[in-house]
Amino acid sequence: MIKYSEEVADAIFRKKPVVALESTIISHGLPRPKNLEVAFEVEAIVRDSGATPATIALIDGVIHVGLELEEMERIANDDQVVKASTRDLAIIESKKLSAATTVAATAHIAALAGISVFATGGLGGVHRGHTYDESADLLALARIPIVIVCAGVKSILDVPATLERLETLAVPVLGYRTNKFPGFYLTDSGYEIEHRVESADEIASIWKNRVEIKTDDCAIVVTNPVQNQMDVELHNRILQEGLAGAEAAHITGKAVTPYLLEYFHSSSGGESLRVNIEIIKSNTALASQIALALHH
Ligand code: PSU
Ligand code: MN
């Protein structure tokens, strides 16, 4: 049912730390040709830390945990690759399609494969102006035990509504060396986080405590603020324009997030791309440290 890359199969066999990586950011989140370059660089960050990267996607209907070189190229460059959330997985298997997985679908597959740590850019959440449009990421986090490292939720979203939903869903949120909920492209979204942690070891100890008291049936969201944020005025202007553009073009469903991210990338003269890449790299480095810390 799952095809493991050689590297990941070996790591799981030897019980070595593995970090799951999502693929929608490669296929639908970053522009070509930078997306492929970043996908490889991110995997290298995991390897350099001593853990093993497992980029997750579906190739011709088969769930892959860890991609070989040509498979990564397909996810990055093939227009036929669709964006898959958890509900799409069985359908894509049966239709033998190729798909990149969202945070929700990646977390689901990672947990199935016994992987406990996952790095992404920004989580999905409640959309601005359309609070009924809520990413399946949120419900997935409520039922999948995994540590997910992110830069908060994407700033295109309704941050306070998303934080309230995470509270209702009983998903713990940690600020890595911060008490400010990060704003994806921005270091600070303007909202507070109650719980600040200082180290990967502290996160690992929280993970272990949860098991003993049986509050380990959901994710732990670790938020890692970007160091060199986007210019705030540029960010806010593009955000307003992008939201208005999505409205005018009647963009709906799973096309909304890729539309807005692409709007940022094509309107910010490379700024949002630079920041998005910094986010994913820095989250991957922290996720690798957490995977190592969970290990000892
Ligand atoms: N983080 C990024 N870029 C992305 C995403 C996250 O930096 O493209 C993707 C993730 O796969 C996330 C998805 O699960 O966007 C959310 O999409 P939606 O709002 O349709 O649930
Ligand atoms: Mn949606």
Residues 6+ apart with CB under 8 A from 214: none
pTM for the whole structure: 0.97
Q: What is the distance in angstroms between the CA of the first residue and the CA of the last residue of the chain? A: 30
Report pLDDT digits (tens) over 18-52.
Answer: 999 999 999 999 999 999 999 999 999 999 999 99
Q: Is residue 22 within 8 Å of residue 103, measured between CB atoms? A: yes
175 close to 146: Cβ distance less than 8 angstroms? no
Return the structure tokens found at 275: 């920041």
Domain count, the chain: 1
The identity of residue 200, as a single letter, is A
Q: Ligand 2 centroid to 254 CA: how many Å?
A: 5
For residues 90 and 74, the answer to whether their CB atoms sit within 8 Å is: no
Backbone angles phi, psi at 154, to 5 degrees: -60, 140
For ligand 1, atom 18, name the residue with the nearest CA.
Answer: 135
| pLDDT 10s digits, 81-103 | 999 999 999 999 999 999 999 99
Q: Which of 150, 155, 220 is nearest to 190 (CA)?
A: 155
Give percent of the chain above pLDDT 70.
100
Which domain CATH number covers 290?
Answer: 3.40.1790.10
In terms of residue numbers, what domain contains 24? 2-294
* 125 CB within 6 A, ligand 1: no
Q: Does the beta carbon of 24 sit less than 6 angstroms from any atom of ligand 1?
A: yes
83, 154, 180, 254: the active-site residue: 154
Kindly give the distance from the C-alpha atom of residue 155 to the centroid of ligand 2, in angstroms, as a whole number.
14
Q: Which residues pair with 61 in a beta bridge?
A: none
Could you report the per-residue pLDDT of 260-281, keeping only the tens digit for each?
999 999 999 999 999 999 999 9
- Residue 82 in tokens: 């669709």
- For residue range 184-226, what is the model confidence (pLDDT) as tens digits? 999 999 999 999 999 999 999 999 999 999 999 999 999 999 9
> Do you know the residue count of the chain?
296
pLDDT at 229 exceeding the cut of 80 = yes
Pick from 180, 214, 176: nearest CA to 290:
176
| 22 classed as catalytic | yes
Q: How far apart are CA 136 and CA 84, in angstroms?
A: 11
- Which pLDDT score is estimated for 256? 93
Q: What is the DSSP string of 160-197?
A: HHHHHHHHHTT--EEEET-SEEEETTEEEEEEE-SEEE
Distance, C-alpha 256 to centroid of its chain: 16
Distance CA 207, CA 220 (A): 8
Could you tell me the two tokens for 164?
């309230």
Concerning whether 192 is annotated as a catalytic residue, the answer is no
Between the alpha carbon of residue 222 and those of residues 121, 204, 219, 230, 284, the distances in Å are 12, 11, 9, 21, 12
Tell me if 152 CB under 6 Å of ligand 1: no
